[in-house]
Chain A
Amino acid sequence: MNQPLTLTATQKAGPKVTAVALGVVLIVLLAMPLLHLLPADNAFHVSAYTLTLVGKILCYAIVALALDLVWGYAGLLSLGHGLFFALGGYAMGMYLMRESAGDGLPAFMSFLAWTELPWYWYGTSSFLWAMCLVVLVPGLLAFVFGFFAFRSRIKGVYFSIMTQALTFAGMLLFFRNETGFGGNNGFTGFTRILGFDITAPGTRAALFVATVLLLTGSLLLGWTLARSKFGRVLTALRDAENRLMFCGYDPRGYKLFIWTLSAVLCGLAGALYVPQVGIINPSEMAPTQSIEAAVWVALGGRGTLIGPLLGAGIVNGMKSWFTVAFPEYWLFALGALFIVVTLYLPKGVIGLIKRRGEA
């Protein structure tokens, strides 16, 4: 916990190099949806598979960034961020199911012989209300959970275990058919969003651009926070909470703010993930999903903002390659990766780049 704040890591390696690299990445990401619009026989055409895969990874990168805000800065390791991601996804999914079902009930409800929508489905045919739910549901859950956890001064590993239990409880709840969210199949078979065909190249491209914009916005927000006094208070909180209290700061409000913000970012990422991937089910709430998110952050470098984005990209890139080439070995590779990072790269990939830059 004593490592100096590495917010400036990349800047020390050369602010110009970082800015140029980020600019190039942004241009490439914005070019991809345009290239997807080219006819399929064009040499520069980006396939729907590639676009969806990258879009999915970008959503994960937002989760990594959100997790880094609470773990890397405030020192709160959450092993339940998958829950907030999935809740955002489900809120979006509700809208997509309604939009796809037209005036009727969503298909899974007909299978259950339900004749009317449960009360919490009311209004979900409106895109605006669904967007409100995307923000409110993860946000409120995080606020209430955080309020009690921080008031009881739950910290460290106990906090992590509780978040893990929370996402597990969420998963069990959503697995039930009676809960009204499609049971273990979740939501799938979306056809339309805002009146557009969800698989049309234009729609895919628009969703991809929205994801890039959300990621960029989150990154800028994270930067602003990390550079503000608020960010420094969070770092202080991580390293010496008692000292901070005797300086006259109440840690609870600070923790609650960043915790809730992080959950909302995850919810938004989930909402963009669902229409691109085309499915949301309770396995997104599985504890392993949330733990994997922690691996992304640790691999990239905690407390660096850029690092977790790299981490999410590297791990998920490897994952999609491994699960095609050697599906049975992926979990071993993931485990090995985590061990290597813990033993040899305590500051993550960013730490490595920084060291190279200084050498």
Chain B
Amino acid sequence: MKTAPVPELITSLDRPDINGSGRDAIGLGRVKGAGLDARHGTILSLEDINVSFDGFRALTDLSLYIGVGELRCIIGPNGAGKTTMMDVITGKTRPDSGTAFFGDTLDLTRMSEVEIAQSGIGRKFQKPTVFEALSVFENLELAQKTDKSVWASLRAKLSGAQKDRIDEVLETIRLQTSRNRPAGLLSHGQKQFLEIGMLLMQDPQLLLLDEPVAGMTDAETEFTAELFKSLARRHSLMVVEHDMGFVDTIADHVTVLHQGQVLAEGSLEAVQNDERVIEVYLGR
């Protein structure tokens, strides 16, 4: 699987400087590889991941692969390890054993949370988390893909193209009229959209979305489904969701987690007819 990256073949993701400078200045720098290399069609590979908290095994030999441009839904009962899995991918939790690769070359278990975010993985939290004191526009401004070192921020000025991009995203998430409102005053559903908008500004290769439609109205849910489907071509998405109707609308591929392991994988229909899945869901 892992071959040495051939420079001219590496999918250059027009990322100007992911090494930054501020982090290195305080001794946090790490020599980075040549960025994301997903030539083999797999954007994320988790293999034999084990995580335990004080004896409780949150993830047991979990293996999961997500293809480039795929929209994958993860379902599973409470405590199945969905959020822990996202924590492992984003570097918040270190696995006890196993490998986690972003593309073919980036070892997620050896990167910091910030490095992972900069290499192109975006995450939406279960509870919508936005910068409440800042305006909607400023939230998007901070999220945009750019040099995020201290020095760059001190001198940053928005270019016309960047402003246009923010306006574009504002339109996509339908918050143009709230652009100058503090994000803390938005409704729950609007905050969800703002957070999705921030992910769009970040322009990650892989988006992890934890219950994105929780607390949304039916119309908002429908709109989110459309949005995700349109994103799936250019980005890879991993969506954790309980709302089966929503999953049915968007997913081409569903993975069922149970007790920290993959229980079943396939189309939603196939998964729903799987005896073990029925047992897990109805047997409780």
The verdict on B220 contacting chain A, using a C-beta distance below 8 Å, is no
Q: Determine if A147 and B26 form an interchain contact, defined as CB atoms under 8 angstroms apart.
A: yes
Q: Determine if A4 and B184 form an interchain contact, defined as CB atoms under 8 angstroms apart.
A: yes
Q: A256 CA to B155 CA in the complex, in Å? A: 17
Given A245-B117, A252-B28, the answer on whether A236 and B134 have CB atoms closer than 8 Å is yes
Residue in contact with B153 in the complex, picked from A230, A238, A245, CB distance below 8 Å = A230
Q: Determine if A248 and B118 form an interchain contact, defined as CB atoms under 8 angstroms apart.
A: yes
The verdict on A42 contacting chain B, using a C-beta distance below 8 Å, is no
Residue in contact with B133 in the complex, picked from A239, A249, A253, A254, CB distance below 8 Å = A239
The verdict on B154 contacting chain A, using a C-beta distance below 8 Å, is yes
Interface residue ranges of A1-22 to B (CB < 8 Å)? 2-5
Closest to B185 in A: A4
A-contacting 9-mer, from B50-58, B123-131, B236-244, B248-256: B123-131
Most interface-central of B118, B148, B149 (chain A CB within 10 A): B148
Chain B count of residues within 8 A CB distance of the other chain: 38
The verdict on B107 contacting chain A, using a C-beta distance below 8 Å, is no
Given A229-B156, A242-B129, A253-B150, the answer on whether A247 and B202 have CB atoms closer than 8 Å is yes
Q: Determine if A250 and B148 form an interchain contact, defined as CB atoms under 8 angstroms apart.
A: yes
Q: A244 CA to B130 CA in the complex, in Å? A: 9
Q: Determine if B23 and A233 form an interchain contact, defined as CB atoms under 8 angstroms apart.
A: no
A-contacting 9-mer, from B4-12, B65-73, B93-101, B136-144: B136-144
Q: A243 CA to B20 CA in the complex, in Å? A: 19
Residues of B within 8 A of A252 (CB): 23, 26, 28
Given A248-B202, A250-B28, the answer on whether A229 and B142 have CB atoms closer than 8 Å is yes
Residues of B within 8 A of A256 (CB): 26
> Footprint of A on B, CB under 8 Å?
20, 22-23, 25-26, 28, 90, 112-114, 117-118, 122-123, 125, 129-134, 138, 141-143, 145, 148-150, 153-156, 182, 184-185, 198, 202
3 closest residue pairs by CB, A with B = A253-B22, A229-B156, A248-B117
Given pairs A2-B132, A252-B26, A253-B25, 4 additional interface contacts (CB within 8 A): A5-B134, A243-B130, A248-B117, A250-B148
> Footprint of B on A, CB under 8 Å?
2-5, 147, 225, 228-230, 232-233, 235-236, 238-240, 242-250, 252-254, 256-257
Listed A/B pairs (19) with beta-carbon separation below 8 Å: A4-B182, A228-B153, A229-B141, A229-B142, A229-B153, A232-B134, A232-B141, A236-B134, A239-B131, A240-B131, A243-B125, A243-B130, A246-B122, A248-B114, A248-B117, A248-B118, A250-B28, A253-B22, A253-B26
